[in-house]
Amino acid sequence: MGGVVGRVGGRERRLRVVGRQLARVEGWGEVVRWVVALHATDPATVFLTVAARLREPGGGVTALEDALYGETGALVRMLAMRRTMFVVDRASAPTVYAAAGKQVAAAEHKKLLAFLAEGGGWDAAWLEKVQAQVRAALDEHGETGGAGLSRLVPGLREQVVVAAGKPYEARQNVASRIIRTMAAQGLIERRRPAGSWASSQFRWANAEPLPDLPVAAARADLVTAWLAAYGPGTEADLKWWTGWSLTEVRKALAAVGAERVLLDDDGVGHVLPGDGAPTADDVPPAATLLPALDPTPMGWRDRDWFLPAEHRAALFDRTGNVGPTVWWGGEVVGGWAHRADGTVATRLLADRGTAAAAAVDAAAERLAAFLADGGVTVTPRFRTPLERELSA
């Protein structure tokens, strides 16, 4: 990487968010391209992330369900960056797995073997036998829920002793740990949930083996996609988002020929070659209500340029998970919650004028109608102070 090629300040970065991250598009494919991967720890987030960015969100659920669970299987869930669950385009799944998921899977497998050995005395050979039985059961019976797999595979019904001899000693089933690790390894994958699109009770199916891509090339490809969507970003941003070491981040940035730009605080950010030029000033602001754990607010480690520090205590939980946010002009201006009566309640933490306030109210009404059509009430898995207060 060469010297600094220019400056990209906070206003320019917010314009990029409006034009890239929050642009209204036709289908889920464009959304996935602009956010790189859909955050999927909370199943509802996948659908709300897409709906928030579609010109016509009404048909988004059916199209997204078809992509996730239909014959084409165009989207797939996988444990990847930061040991977090994501939904990615199946075509990019090999890249994401080689760049981040494979390392996560190896760590999960190692922890599972230690868990089984300490709690039940089982070794790698025993685990391989159970995994083979799981795959055989899925071959014979097709998509099956976790409880069904436990009935079909005796090894999944085993229990281990946790904290033996201590006052809080307990017994835990091995099924969830084994199934989770098999998914991380790409041996099985989540399919259609047992309930609505907001349900977290999935059926399972055998997965097609992913090709074994070179790690360095895969990381360079992933950084290219991230910079196109989130750039400029700092090394610290990329290190946090990917879960890689700083050395690995720097190697990937060098591989793509990333250019250095100055940020408002005179820190150094990175963009793709030729992407340091200013964005057009006529990008109109729009009110957007993003769900908890949406990829955009979770896209950078440093959020000062779009989210004032004084608002974070209300919008994040204690472990750094963002709750539902209200956006205007590429910045977070408030939060929202879905109430039991079906209404979407909002609160603005920053005054951006009457036009912005009216647009937020209209966006809340559209979201409430979308959720009513889906027959779901959305409660984030990781609840934040403002979301709890607004939902009461």
Query: In 199-259, which residue ranges form alpha helices assigned H by DSSP?
Result: 215-230, 235-242, 246-255
End-of-domain residue from the set 179, 206, 233: 206
Q: Are 326 and 292 in contact (CB under 8 A)?
A: no
Asked whether residue 267 is domain-assigned, the answer is no
pLDDT at 327: 98
Please report which helix (H) or strand (E) contains residue 93, including its range: helix 93-96
Residue 6 vs residue 327, higher pLDDT: 327
Integer angstrom CA distances of residue 192 from 68, 144, 196, 202: 8, 10, 9, 6
Looking at 27-31, 225-229, 276-280, which range is the least confident one?
276-280
| Other CB atoms within 10 Å distance of the CB of residue 62 | 11
Residue 38 within a domain:
no
Q: Give the residue numbers spanning the domain of 344.
A: 287-391
**For 199-216, what is each residue's pLDDT tens digit?**
888 999 999 999 999 999
Does the pLDDT of residue 227 top 80, yes or no?
A: yes
DSSP class per residue in 363-389: HHHHHHHHHHHHT-----SS--HHHHH
**329 within domain boundaries:** yes
51-74: pLDDT as tens digits: 999 988 877 788 999 999 988 889
Mean pLDDT of 333-341: 97
Of the listed ranges 85-94, 110-119, 174-183, 274-283, the least confidently predicted one is 274-283
Q: Is the pLDDT of residue 374 over 90?
A: no
Q: Does residue 97 lie within any of the structural domains?
A: yes
In a domain, 245, yes or no: no
Beta strands in 58-210 (DSSP E): 75-79, 85-89, 144-145, 159-162, 170-173, 188-193, 202-206
Residue 29: count of CB within 10 angstroms of its CB? 15
- If you average pLDDT over residues 234-245, what whole number do you get? 97
Tell me the β-bridge partners of 171.
161
Asked if residue 102 belongs to a domain, the reply is yes
Residue 314: what residue type? A
The count of domains in the chain is: 2
Do 97 and 201 belong to one domain?
A: yes
The answer to whether residue 18 is domain-embedded is no
- Of the residues 206, 237, 267, which one is the last residue of a structural domain? 206
pLDDT band at 2 (very low <50, low <70, confident <90, very high): low
Query: Residue 144 and residue 88: Cα distance in Å, rounded?
Result: 22
Record the tokens describing residue 131, joined without a space. Answer: 């995994």
Domain stops at, among 162, 191, 206: 206
pLDDT band at 235 (very low <50, low <70, confident <90, very high): very high
Contacts of 216 (CB under 8 A, 6+ apart): 251, 252, 255
Instruction: Tell how many helices (H) and how many strands (E) occur in the chain.
Output: 15, 15
Q: What's the pLDDT score for residue 20?
A: 93
Structure tokens at 274: 């030729």
- Give the residue among 319, 46, 95 at the shortest CA–CA distance from 221: 95
pLDDT recorded at residue 237: 98
Chain segment 120-138, per-residue pLDDT in tens: 889 999 999 999 999 999 9
Q: Is residue 358 part of a domain?
A: yes
Q: Find tokens 């085993």 and name the residue.
A: 158
Q: Which amino acid is at 73?
A: G
pLDDT at 165 over 80: no
How far apart, in whole angstroms, are the C-alpha atoms of residue 113 and residue 125? Answer: 10
Residue with tokens 């996609």: 225
Percentage helix, strand, coil for the chain under 3-state DSSP, each rounded to 5: 45, 20, 35
